[in-house]
Structure 1
């Protein structure tokens, strides 16, 4: 177990450069498996999930050279091998399911472990992924410890309409379609920024993709993919997180942001808490009146609300960040997670700080902010940005707080503590129980 010790009450100030987006990095890493040519990735983060994927590559015989100080990864899958009977994929990271298309295309076989999982966000089914694999021609067989998938010949193109706009299902469809025979079309595709970054990488390899960034994507299968060099963009999740840390502590934080065109809805969401976001010269800055105050709706009989759903809604991954602002800001806000049914059950941890948050149902909570907060020892669920939201509340509260089981932070943000320490935060990792 890794805990974060936070001595709060210091306004955070300064500049910070975010790392790459985990949700772009992992599918791109999985996508490299489709190519037999050398590939260089620039800006690779030293996260636990990245390390696990690269270890899988090494075990399968791929050439992997990585320098986390420079952020450069060279990977070559020319001599890669795979045996579905003996080789295992990581169970503790949901993104390992995106290795399946490359394995099926290269070796005609793959497997899905029984316990493949990610953050504890509620029911996260694998059926949509299995359905995609079957539509491309995979025969699926249940084994005592997972599923095996076998393909006779090349993957076969198809048209598919998903039940909902799932990011990972969309990426798995594109990975399968890239080398399939014929033209494939996906309707109700996810369009998040990290999905668009993933499609840009696939196009760099030679994949023929139309409609990226929309809900209907068409992929024309090619015989093979090439190599090349790709540079990751800044993670918009980290950008929002650092800006929110500046706002909640009454500080002045500027964050490198080369894609402000992704931020209009995020900016308006910050404004609901009295925070103005300014984008200029490749940087974003928070300007907040302190103490924070919730903006009253013009409709008098409703609460201010923040609704999160698949892009172009506010991303559900960022909802906890704004919940932290809601606990701090004077006023009431309803938060609505329209995707996951198990991501809102951490209000009891906010209460340990003195925060007032009421869980209305599995999808909605209401914060009654502006209450006096005191330092506390809290337990984070295994959800990346809930751990960070608890850090935010701790950082805004004078005194020593402990965020127990903060390990999920390292899955996405390897230098999180170091970055906010440079902004003036007193924070440190402590290993052990």
Structure 2
């Protein structure tokens, strides 16, 4: 079942408790390999990438106990082994690359398959990761189908300055630094909320990290790491997504949100489309007065802009949901993805709904919103939030629409359809023809 059938037009109303952020859960799962002490994780979502990592842990001989109904995962890597000749890390999953540092720390070797990728957002290079591994004393050899990383001794601490603030490269640096003797410093580090959550987990294990939430991380490693219990926060992506679904359908969805301090810029972006976000008593909701309208800037002769880049900019992962709002809202807005060069091609699918969208170049597009829209059958690329953005537009239109290849949603949101139904959506999975 990979397509979503949406019978739209109904305002969505109710309360939703979002799941944990997969971009925090997956790196933290990889980080548990750094310790041979028991670790309990609370709030782990039942998504495909989580299952893949847990499966490789079982293959490597780790103790794995999972109860997805409670979200509790118990891990104990006391008898873990790794053989690069026979053990393969999960393919078609970007997070596999974060298994490399703990494998190097424990076994001195790791093998990374060539087909390590995630959503089809454009070129996603691994060279910055290779550079980090080499900075910590590892050697990297290329074969036809894989990269083999060797480390003959203990990792050596170092200082590094990233070309750009990459989330996974920052996390790989922290993983390597946690295993290295001495103090390592990273400049131009990513600081997204899920990176902060990842760093807090490493701190719980006993890694000393200074600068969490900033662009400069100082990590003191080489200590014997312990275990413990860690509870995940709600995913700010999912919070914003359900807030947007409430707004685009003219409904009222309240979403549990224990970290509203992460939302000022997201709130102001919603306001550009006539949506007011209210945070109160651990819950967030959107308030819309009448028709969605693009806020006109005071500066004449320019369009309202939504610029997405590494945190503390608006996250690029959230850009598609605001494109959906731009399609629905009266007025014109420009959207600028400053990270990925292949993340905007899907917008041609919006024309099937009757939307007027102009793709200026691989990074920028303009919506001319507020036009009459009709139900349609559209196709999503392999990008989680794009599938959701197409669903948002469909949910705002009277009639039956179909989102083909919507399966990427399950990579991040285990109960997305169930949550939609709980707030009144008429939506169901169906098989591809």
TM-score, normalised to structure 1, is 0.99
Q: Is the CA contact 1:4–1:427 (under 8 Å) kept in the aligned structure 2?
A: yes
Q: 3-state DSSP class of the match of 1:122? A: coil
**Residues 113-142 of structure 1: per-residue CA shift (max 9 Å, x gap):** 111100000010000000000111111111
Conserved in 1, the CA contact under 8 Å of 2:155 and 2:181? yes
Bigger shift: residues 10-19 or 288-297: 288-297
CA contact (8 A) 1:5 1:402 kept: yes
Quote the Cα distance in structure 1 between the aligned partners of 2:347 and 2:145.
35
1:362-381: CA deviation from partner (whole Å, max 9, x where unpaired): 00000000010000000000
1:107-126 matched pairs, under 5 angstroms: 107-126=107-126
**Aligned equivalents of 1:124, 1:364: Cα separation in 2:** 19
Contact 1:12 1:251 (8 Å CA) reproduced: yes
CA contact (8 A) 1:233 1:258 kept: yes
Aligned to 1:406: 406
Whole-Å Cα distance in 2 between the matches of residues 179 and 112 of structure 1?
19
1:431 to partner: Cα distance: 2.7
Residue 263 of structure 1 is matched in structure 2 by: 263
Aligned positions of 1:19-418 closer than 5 A: 19-418=19-418
Alpha-carbon separation, structure 1, partners of 2:399 and 2:33: 48
Calculate the aligned-residue CA RMSD, in Å: 0.7
**Partners in 2 of 1:367 and 1:220 — Cα distance?**
48
Separation of aligned partners in 2, 1:248 and 1:369: 12
Q: Secondary structure at the match of 1:140?
A: strand
* CA-to-aligned-CA distance 1:210-255 (integer Å, 9 cap, x gap): 1111111000113321100000000000000000000000001100
| Separation of aligned partners in 2, 1:114 and 1:179 | 25
Offset at 1:346?
1.0
Checking the alignment, whether the CA contact within 8 Å between 2:162 and 2:188 is kept in structure 1 is yes
- The ranges of structure 1 where at least 4 consecutive aligned residues each deviate by more than 4 angstroms after the TM superposition are none
Secondary structure of the residue aligned to 2:147 is strand
Deviations along 1:1-46, one digit per CA (max 9) or x if unpaired, are 6001100000000000000001000000000010100000000000
CA distance in 2, matches of 1:115, 1:289: 48
> Is the contact between residue 110 and residue 148 of structure 1 (CA under 8 Å) also seen in structure 2?
yes
What is the distance in 2 between the residues matched to 1:71 and 1:165? 31
Shift of the alpha carbon at 1:432?
3.5
Is 1:43–1:71's contact at 8 Å kept on the other side of the alignment?
yes
Q: Which runs of 5+ in 2 are unaligned?
A: none
